[in-house]
Structure 1
Amino acid sequence: MAADAVLYGDERKILVLGIGNILWADEGFGVRAVEHLAAHYSFGPEVQIMDGGTQGLYLLPVLEDLETLIIVDAIDFGLPPATLHHVEGSAVPATIGARKMSLHQTGFQEVLALLDLRGHAPRAIHLVGVQPVTMQDYGGGLTEAVAQQVSPAVQMVLDLLKQRYGVSPTPLQQTSAPGAGVITQAVARTAYEQGRPSEELACRYGDERVLARSGV
């Protein structure tokens, strides 16, 4: 076990959290990354994989007193589009707050500040982010360049878990079902991106992927 890994009973409290809004193209990068991670690897009880979406303050109970928090998100680092970047420690809230590209980042910066104020901040915090190409395409999936960074981002997370915290997941022999327990199958990446209607149909009838349906 890594020297800086803290035990809580029989488990280490490590959370890999994807945040973002899948409805706005590259803003969904963090969610798609954790979806991919959960679909291809099995973890022990010490690691939780979670789609945090845009929940903001509702995430507080989940984040309190973690040993390690690894956030995956689309972030404006001021780098070329589709560039992956990793920051840690105090640089994480500073980076999230420096160039806010969406409302969920404002909310999540507040979450981190409240955790720190209450004395329940994670002992270690990391941010694995990608510089988005666009976050202005409503109903769109990841752009091609950013989609190609999903697997490398997952590998960055795996490297952090192994090298810093001594955690090695088990690769799954067969990929899990769409969503892999972190996101509903209806909006899992393949179904969501392949199910986008044409502009004409969406204009006339709406987008069934995001419209509320009666009786559901």
Structure 2
Amino acid sequence: MNEKQVLILGIGNILWADEGFGVRCVESLNQDYAFPDNVKMVDGGTQGIYLVQHVQEADVLVVFDAIDYGLPPGTLKKIYNEDVPKFMGAKQMSLHQTGFQEVLAMAEFTGNYPADLLLVGCQPVELEDFGGSLRPEVKAQVKPAIDIALAYLAQFGVEPTRQAGQARALSPGQLNLSDYERGRPDEASACRTGDIRVIAGATSAPKGTD
């Protein structure tokens, strides 16, 4: 009962290239390691404020995300404790930035806020590629990001064991990295900026309207 409750959270949108970095980190961590019962892993996607209940329950919070630090593409950076919300409010960094700021603010307001925080962010290469996957520079940083998180968690006595990809997936199977990349249509047959039917509809007014 005295064990610290640990939340490992990946946030981002896998549909927009490097925006999926955080989710892919948690996905890989879940498949490669088994954690004790006091550790929860969550694919937070772009759920925003709906993640607050998970944050409120955590004593230790580790977040993976794609962050625009203004650094060379693929660069990892670690942010700790009170600097996490401060840094996230300093500049526009990700498509879901505001949602996660609200999560932290609400958790703090209710008095249920993690005592220890780590944000592991990776400078994206490309975000404007609908249906795209991680670029090589960012994909190569998934394992180093996980290593950073594991070293941090070791300070709190969290010692996972290696496993061979047998864990239950955090998201539907077709969204895992290998299937997602393998199933993408080629550029000639797939719109890279959105559904062309929606785009076309948005640019023409319905009949009978001004």
Structure 2 length as normaliser, TM-score? Answer: 0.87
Q: Deviations over 1:150-209 (max 9, x none)?
A: 0111111111111x211110011x2236xx421211111110011110123224xx98xx
C-alpha displacement of 1:10: 5.6
Residue 210 (structure 1) aligns with:
none
Residue 176 (structure 1) aligns with:
166
What is the alpha-carbon distance in structure 1 between the residues aligned to residue 129 and residue 49 of structure 2?
Answer: 26
Contact persistence 1:77–1:95 (CA under 8 A): no
Task: List gaps (5 residues or longer) in structure 1.
Answer: 1-8, 208-216
Letter in 2 for 1:185: G
What is the alpha-carbon distance in structure 2 between the residues aligned to residue 182 and residue 11 of structure 1?
Answer: 24
Residue 187 (structure 1) aligns with:
175
What is the alpha-carbon distance in structure 2 between the residues aligned to residue 11 and residue 185 of structure 1?
Answer: 32
Matching of residue 147 in structure 1 with residue 118 in structure 2: no
Moved over 3 A (4+): none
Matching of residue 121 in structure 1 with residue 109 in structure 2: no
RMSD: 1.6
Residue 130 (structure 1) aligns with:
122
Letter in 2 for 1:198: D
Letter in 2 for 1:183: S
What is the alpha-carbon distance in structure 1 between the residues aligned to residue 82 and residue 2 of structure 2?
Answer: 28
Aligned-pair identity (%): 49
Residue 54 (structure 2) aligns with:
62
Letter in 1 for 2:20: G
Residue 165 (structure 1) aligns with:
156
Residue 41 (structure 1) aligns with:
33
Residue 6 (structure 1) aligns with:
none
Letter in 1 for 2:166: S
Structure 1 length as normaliser, TM-score? Answer: 0.85
Task: List gaps (5 residues or longer) in structure 2.
Answer: 196-210
Number of equivalenced pairs: 193
Higher-Rg member (1/2): 2
What is the alpha-carbon distance in structure 2 between the residues aligned to residue 102 and residue 149 of structure 1?
Answer: 18
C-alpha displacement of 1:124: 1.0
